[in-house]
Structure 1
Amino acid sequence: MCGIADRITDCIGLKYVSRAVKAASRQIHRRDPMEECVMIVEQFRKICCTSADVLNLLVNDLVSSMEAGLKTKDSKNSPKMLPSFVENLPNGSEKGSYFALDLGGTNFRILHVELGGRKAKVVKQEVEECSIPEKLKIATGRELFDFIAEKLSTFVRKTHGSTLSNHDWHHHQRKELQLGFTFSFPVDQKSIDGGSLLEWTKGFKCDGVIGENVVQLLEEALARNGLEMKVNVLINDTVGTLAAGRYLYDNTIIAIILGTGTNSAYIESSAALRLKLDESQLPKSTTTVINTEWSYFWSPYLPVTDIDMELLHESPLPGQQQYEKLISGMYLGEIVRRVLQKLQRQSGVFGKSVLSNLANPHSLDARTMSVMHEDESCGLQKVAKVLEENFDIVGTSLELRRLVQTVCDVVCQRAGRLAAVGIVAMLKKIGWDQASTTITIAVDGGLYEHYKKFRGYLFDAMRELLGEKVAENISIVLCKDGSGIGAALLAASHS
C-alpha cells in the first residue's frame, strides 16, 4: 500500500512541477510590450510597402479601369468616368458678375466674382465659408438644401441686394444672377445644368436625394427662401479645379483633389464616350471634361492590411472606394488610430486604462496626424501632446513616441505614393507620360496643401515612375479654392 501511495504522491508532484515549468517558460518567452509593438508595426509596414514594381502594376490596372469606365454605365470597382458636359473651358475673356456654391465636405463655400476680361481677369472676389452641422449630414435632403439656400440667399442679398430697389430685385435675379454649383458627389449628368445623385459619400446620408436632380432641389430651396436664382452649371470639385487651372495656365489638362476625399478630372476626346452615351448626348465639341470618380478604383495589387479591410467595411459605402480610403484626409488619421488601438489591445503599451480612449472612431484627423508625423521637436513633444490631448495617454517614453511617428509615416508614405499612381495613370491614359513639352496639373485640397511630407512622397513616386526628365516637364500648381472659383468661371463661359 505504501508503494502505491508513494507513486501517487510522485505523480502529483510531477504534475505541479510540470505546471511550474510551463509557467516559467511562458514568462521567459513573453515579449516585452515594446517589443510586441515593434513587431506589429514592422508587419504593418511590410504590407503597406509600395515598391516601384507594385506602383507600375497599379498604374496599368488604373489605366485599364479608366478605359473600361469610358465604355460602360455600370463600372463597379473601377472609376465611373462620368461625362461633365463641360465643353467650354474658361480662357480669360469672360466678363460679368457670377456666383458659385461649392458643396463637397465638412464646409461649403459661397463665392461672388466679377470678371473683367483678359486684361483685368478677376476684378473682385468675395467668399464666405459655412460649416455644415453634423446632424444635417444625416438629415433629410430638404433640410440640408434649405440650410444651404438660407446661407446663399443671405450672402447674395448682402453682396448684391443693396444696389437694387425692391421693385428691381425679382427681375434682376432672373436676368443677371447666375450660379455655378459645385456638388462634389457622384452624379449622373445628362446636361451641363442638371444631374441626379448616384450615392452619398464623405459621411453624408441625407434621405430623399439619391436619384433626384440636385439642381432642382437647390433651386426649389432657394425659391422657398425668396431667391429665384438660375443654376446654369453643375460640376464637381475636380472639374471646377480644372477650370480654375485652365483660366490661369492654358496648358492645364488634369485636375486632382487631395483633401477630405480624392478625385480627378481631365480633358478627353469626345469620341471616347461613344459606347457610354447615346448619340444625342455626345458633346458637340471634339473634347470634353471627364470626372473620373477614381475613388472607386480597386486592384488586387493595392497594399491593404487587416485594419484597412475593417475600415473599408465599417465606413460609409461599405466595401467600396478602397482607393480613396487609403489616400484621403478623411481616413488617414483613422487608420493611425486603429493601429494604435491594436498596439494597446495586444500589448497594453500605453497603460492599463486607455484602451477605451482609443476606441472612439475618427478621434484622430489627418491634420493632427500630420502634427505628430512632422514633429521635429526635442523629445517629440508634439507627439506626446497629441497623445495626451486626444487619448489621455501620458508618460510615454521617447521610444514609444518614435514608434507612433513611424506609424504616421507608414500611412502617409503609402497614401502619397498611391496618389502618384493616379496622376501617372492619367498621364499615361492621355499619352503624356513621355511628354517633352510642359503641362500643368491643378491640385486643390487641404491634404495636399498642408501636409508637407505627403507632398514629398507624392513627388518622389512620380519621379520614380516617370523618370526625372519627364517629371521636370510636369508643373503641379495649387489652385486654392479652385473648385468654387471654377464654378463661377464655368457659369461665365456657359452663360
Structure 2
Amino acid sequence: MGKVAVGAAVVCAAAVCAAAALVVRHRMKSSGKWTLAQSILKDFEEKCGTPISKLKQVADAMTVEMHAGLASEGGSKLKMIISYVDNLPTGDEKGLYYALDLGGTNFRVLRVHLGGKEHSVIKHEFKEVSIPPPLMTGSSDALFDYIASALAKFVATESEGLHFSPDRQRELGFTFSFPVRQTSISSGTLIKWTKGFSIDDTVGQDVVGELTKAMERIGLDMRVTALVNDTIGTLARGRYNNPDVVAAVILGTGTNAAYVERAHAIPKWHGLLPKSGDMVINMEWGNFRSSHLPITEYDQALDAVSLNPGEQIFEKLFLVCIWEKLYVEFCARWLKKLHFLVILFQQN
C-alpha cells in the first residue's frame, strides 16, 4: 500500500467514523445510551489531545535530554551527534559540484552549478536510481560498485561547457541517512543498517572509504568532501537561501532534527574550538521518550507490532501512517470501538 493510498484510507476511515458518530448521535439522543457513546469519543479525544501546556512539558523534557546528550556519549535518549560541520553555505559559493543521496531503496545522484549571490543555482540536474532488492542484503562491494557505476554514468552526461580541467578533481557531497559514528567531516563508520538493508560486512566500516574504493575500481576520479545525513543536508540548503536559518526538521519515512550549537556549549567536544565558534548537531530525536508524550493505547499497540518495539517512540507518534501493518492495527482497534457504538444504535 503506497503512501497516497494509506493517506486516502486514513482520510476515508476518519470520515466514516465521523459520519457514523453523527448518525449514532442523531438516533440515540432520546436514550441514555448516548451518554456512554459520547464518553467513549470524549476519552479518545482527550488521549490524543496536545494542549499548549502539554507541548510545553514535552519541550522542557526534550531540552533536558539535549543538555544530557551534549554532555556525554550515551548520557541521553538523544544521541546529539557532533557532525564536524562548523560552517554552512553563505550563498557566495560558485562552481560545479556533485552529490549522492543514499537513504532508502532509491538513491539520487545530483549535479549543481552554483553562481554565487547574483545567480544562485544556475543549473540543477539529478537522476534517481532504484536499488535491486538483492543488493540490499548482499555484500558491501556489490552495493557500492552499483552506486559508483550509476554515479559514473551520470558524470559522463556533463555538458561540454562544464567539463572539469584534467588537474581538478570533482568534489562529491555524500548524504548517507543511516546511523553512523562520525569521525571527521568526510568519514564515519556505519553503526547499523535500517530501512530494509542488511549487509553485515559494511557495519563498522567507513562508508566514505567503501564508496571511494568502489569509485577507484571503475576509474572515477572523485573525492568525497563531506559526509552528512539528510537532516544536515536540509539545514545546509536552507542556510544557502537564508542566513537566519539555524535548524532543520525531517518528516518522511523517519523524523529527525539538526541545529547550529555554540561549540563551547558542547562538553563532550574535546577538539579545538572551530574558528566559526559553531557546530552543527544531529539530534537523532526519533528515539526521544518522555512521560509527558501523549502516548495512547493505539500508540502502544502500533509499537508492539513494529520491527523495533520500545524504540523510536517519538518517531512513531509522527509517522504511524507510513507502515501499512501499523495502520491496519490502528484501524482494527478503532473499528472495535465503532462497532460497539453501532451495536448500541441497533439495540436502540
Q: Aligned to 2:114, what secondary structure does the other structure show?
A: strand
**Per-residue deviation, residues 163-214 of structure 1 (Å, max 9, x unmatched):** 76xxxx9x84x73311000111222112111111223333433322222211
How far did residue 301 of structure 1 move? 1.6
- Verify the 8 A CA contact 1:222 1:229 in the aligned structure 2: yes
Cα displacement (A) at 1:330: 6.4
How far apart, in 1, do the equivalents of 2:37 and 2:139 lie? 44
> Which amino acid letter does the alignment assign opposite residue 246 of structure 1?
R
1:322 to 1:258, Cα distance in 2 relative to 1, 3 A: same
Matched residues in 1 for 2:216 and 2:37: separation? 58
3-state SS of 2:316 partner:
helix
1:343 and 1:330 map into 2 onto residues whose CA distance is 14
- 1:101 corresponding residue in structure 2: 100
Deviations 1:93-131 (A, max 9, x none): 111111001112343211101112221221111111123
Distance 1:219 1:317 in 2: 32
Which one-letter code corresponds to 1:83 in the other structure? I
Matched, 1:86 2:98: no
Are the aligned partners of 1:260 and 1:329 in contact in 2 as well (CA < 8 Å)? no
Alpha-carbon distance in 1 for matches of 2:127, 2:321: 23
Equivalent AA in structure 2 for residue 109 of structure 1: R
CA distance in 2, matches of 1:46, 1:333: 25
Is the Cα contact below 8 Å between 1:263 and 1:293 reproduced in 2? yes
Aligned to 2:297: 306
SS of 2:68's partner is: helix
SS in 2 for 1:175: coil
TM-score, scaled to structure 2: 0.78
Residue of structure 1 in register with 2:316 after alignment: 325
Aligned partners of 2:320 and 2:245: how far apart in 1?
25
Structure 1 residue matching 2:157: 3-state secondary structure? helix
Counterpart contact for 1:219–1:228, Cα < 8 Å:
no
The answer to whether residue 49 in structure 2 is matched with residue 58 in structure 1 is: no
Matched with 2:237 is 244
Residues 74-223 of structure 1 mapped to structure 2, 5 A cutoff: 74-76=74-76, 78-159=77-158, 172=166, 175-223=168-216
Q: Aligned partners of 2:95 and 2:334: how far apart in 1?
A: 58
C-alpha distance in 1, partners of 2:258/2:220?
32
Structure 1 unaligned runs (5+)?
1-35, 350-398, 400-495
Counterpart of 2:4 in structure 1 is none
Q: Determine which structure has the larger helix proportion and give its number.
A: 1
Query: Following superposition of structure 1 onto structure 2, how do residues 256-295 of structure 1 map, counting pairs within 5 Å?
Result: 256-273=249-266, 275-280=267-272, 282-295=273-286
Note if 1:231 corresponds to 2:231.
no
Change in 2 beyond 3 A, CA 1:321/1:85:
same
Tell me the secondary structure at the aligned position of residue 279 of structure 1: coil
Distance (Å, rounded) in 1 between the aligned partners of 2:176 and 2:82: 14
Alignment identity in percent? 42
Q: 1:49 is aligned with what amino acid?
A: G
Distance 1:156 1:329, change over 3 A: farther
Alpha-carbon distance, 1:333 to partner: 5.6
Hey, what's the Cα distance between the residues in 2 that align with 1:61 and 1:40?
A: 30
Distance in 1 separating the partners of 2:162 and 2:91: 27
> 141-150 or 122-131, which moves further after superposition?
141-150
State the shift of 1:331 in Å. Answer: 3.7
Quick one: distance in 1 between partners of 2:242 and 2:174? 23
Choose which of 329, 335, 341 in structure 1 pairs with 2:332: 341
2:48 alignment partner AA: C
> Closer, same or farther in 2 for the Cα pair 1:178/1:312, shift >3 Å?
same
Q: TM-score, normalised by structure 1?
A: 0.56
Counterpart amino acid of residue 141 in structure 2:
R
Per the TM alignment, residue 139 of structure 1 is displaced from its structure 2 partner at its CA by: 3.6
Tell me how large the CA RMSD over aligned residues is: 3.0
Q: CA deviation at 1:45?
A: 4.1
Provide Cα deviations, 1:120-151, integer angstroms capped at 9, x if missing partner. Answer: 22111111112334444344333332222222
SS of corresponding position for 1:50: coil
SS at match of 1:218: helix
Residues 150-170 of structure 1 deviation map (CA, whole Å, 9 limit, x = unaligned): 221211122269976xxxx9x
Contact 1:295 1:322 in 2 (8 A): yes
